[in-house]
Homo-oligomer: A and B are copies of this chain.
Amino acid sequence: MGRKRTKSGKIRLAEVAELAGVSPITASRFFRNPEALSVAKRTRVESAAKELGYVPNLAARALASQRTEVIGVLIPSLTNNVFSDVLRGIYDASEGSRYSIQLSNTRYSILQEEKLLRLFLAQKPAGLIVTGIDQTAESRAMLEAADCPIVQIMEIGPDPVDMMIGFSHYDAARAAIAHLFEQGHRKIGFVGARMDPRVQRRLDGYVSAMKDAGLFDQRLVVTTATPTSVTLGGALFTDLLAREPDIDAVFCANDDLALGVLFECRRREIEVPEQIAIVGFNDLEFMASAVPTLTSVRTNRYEMGKTAATMLINAIEGRRPEQAVLDLGFKVIERQSSSARRADSRPATSAAGAANKMIALPSSHD
């Protein structure tokens, strides 16, 4: 049957080709690989497309080419600030590229992750970004069988499926504790919420550092499965204090908890850092402007997302990275909340005035 025009009046590639005086396939090539066309035809197709306001039909393209231009992203939480930074990086990197992001939330469940993975892979994504290194065996098998590039983000481990970008949470935690030791703190508590694998590894790092110093005591560790929040930080710290009233420092698995601990200290009129030092994790923006300013471990979340997406897109287009595993490291950002017990810690005039001393390390695996 002749089909000169769709009922909807939508512009198809054929219309563009006709106006440009070329065959549809040539017009098609213009959109996928303009360099393959002669300059004359290229400009003709280009102006024809612009004149008609042509927008390619992605469904048809996907069907015909047997692949999509979709990058699947699996993250465990939309609530957690950490992931919004990573996501922002991913979206920023995908912008301007031909790829679009398909986001799904595993809710910290590796079974849910497996289910979503199956769904994603059936649509032949151009690439995949998954969180962490703790997939189910089934997921792992699917990932390895997938014929698209894959990036694991948030942490690094010994056995990447394909590419990997992150840092060692274990080493980062050890560095934070080492910093507290240096400042003269000995009885250091650990406060953690929602013990996902990465928080667990931070705990492991804490435990090993404390054991190395002969200071570990299980009673110094307070954790819960509840999702993190500032309020929860206060509550967990309250528990910790009830149990061990004479601690001299608290290492918090994230910054929300640290802020909660700070507020709870203020409520109880405990001086920070004179009586208790506080160290957080992630270095969210507010840490630098709290009073006292709060020490934290800076992790390059935005950069992680952006680099992951960039690496992925490059790999999709055949440009594999020199190294498949990228350690983005971390920095302990020393601020007032963990100053030496001899304390130079009274309020500066402005947050901006407080210089940050940094300890930068690539995380070394072990």
Q: Report A253-267 residues with CB < 8 Å from chain B CB.
A: 256, 259-260, 263-264, 266-267
Query: B291 to A267, Cβ gap below 8 A?
Result: yes
Binds B, one of A37-45, A188-196, A198-206, A345-353: A345-353
| A63 located at the interface, meaning its Cβ lies under 8 Å from any Cβ of chain B in the complex | yes
Query: B55 to A263, Cβ gap below 8 A?
Result: no
Query: B122 to A234, Cβ gap below 8 A?
Result: no
Bound form: Cα–Cα A229–B79 in Å: 18
| A207 located at the interface, meaning its Cβ lies under 8 Å from any Cβ of chain B in the complex | no
| A290 located at the interface, meaning its Cβ lies under 8 Å from any Cβ of chain B in the complex | yes
Enumerate chain B residues within 8 angstroms of A58, measured Cβ to Cβ: 59, 123
Query: A59 to B230, Cβ gap below 8 A?
Result: no
With contact pairs A91-B78, A123-B58 given, residues A289 and B230 touching in the complex (Cβ less than 8 Å): yes
| A288 located at the interface, meaning its Cβ lies under 8 Å from any Cβ of chain B in the complex | yes
Bound form: Cα–Cα A291–B291 in Å: 11
Min C-beta distance of A294 to chain B, whole Å: 11
Q: Within the complex, which residue of B68, B286, B347, B348 is in contact with A259, where a contact is CB–CB below 8 Å? A: B286
| A25 located at the interface, meaning its Cβ lies under 8 Å from any Cβ of chain B in the complex | no
| A225 located at the interface, meaning its Cβ lies under 8 Å from any Cβ of chain B in the complex | no
By the criterion of a CB under 8 Å from any partner CB, how many residues of chain A are at the interface?
A: 56
**Per-position contact with B for A200-236: 1 when CB-CB < 8 Å, else 0?**
0000000000000000000000000000011101110
Q: 15 A-B residue contacts at CB 8 Å? A: A8-B66, A55-B122, A59-B60, A63-B63, A78-B88, A79-B84, A100-B102, A102-B102, A230-B289, A231-B288, A233-B289, A260-B286, A263-B291, A267-B348, A269-B347
| A322 located at the interface, meaning its Cβ lies under 8 Å from any Cβ of chain B in the complex | no
Task: Write the chain B residue with the least CB distance to A87.
Answer: B78
Bound form: Cα–Cα A289–B62 in Å: 50
| A285 located at the interface, meaning its Cβ lies under 8 Å from any Cβ of chain B in the complex | yes
Task: Write the chain B residue with the least CB distance to A293.
Answer: B263
Task: Write the chain B residue with the least CB distance to A60.
Answer: B63
Task: Write the chain B residue with the least CB distance to A66.
Answer: B8
Enumerate chain B residues within 8 angstroms of A286, measured Cβ to Cβ: 229-231, 256, 259-260
Task: Write the chain B residue with the least CB distance to A263.
Answer: B291
| A57 located at the interface, meaning its Cβ lies under 8 Å from any Cβ of chain B in the complex | yes
Enumerate chain B residues within 8 angstroms of A85, measured Cβ to Cβ: 79
Q: Report A57-108 residues with CB < 8 Å from chain B CB.
A: 57-60, 62-63, 66, 68, 78-79, 81, 84-85, 87-88, 91, 95, 100-103, 105
Q: Within the complex, which residue of B229, B267, B348 is in contact with A350, where a contact is CB–CB below 8 Å? A: B267
Query: A351 to B263, Cβ gap below 8 A?
Result: yes
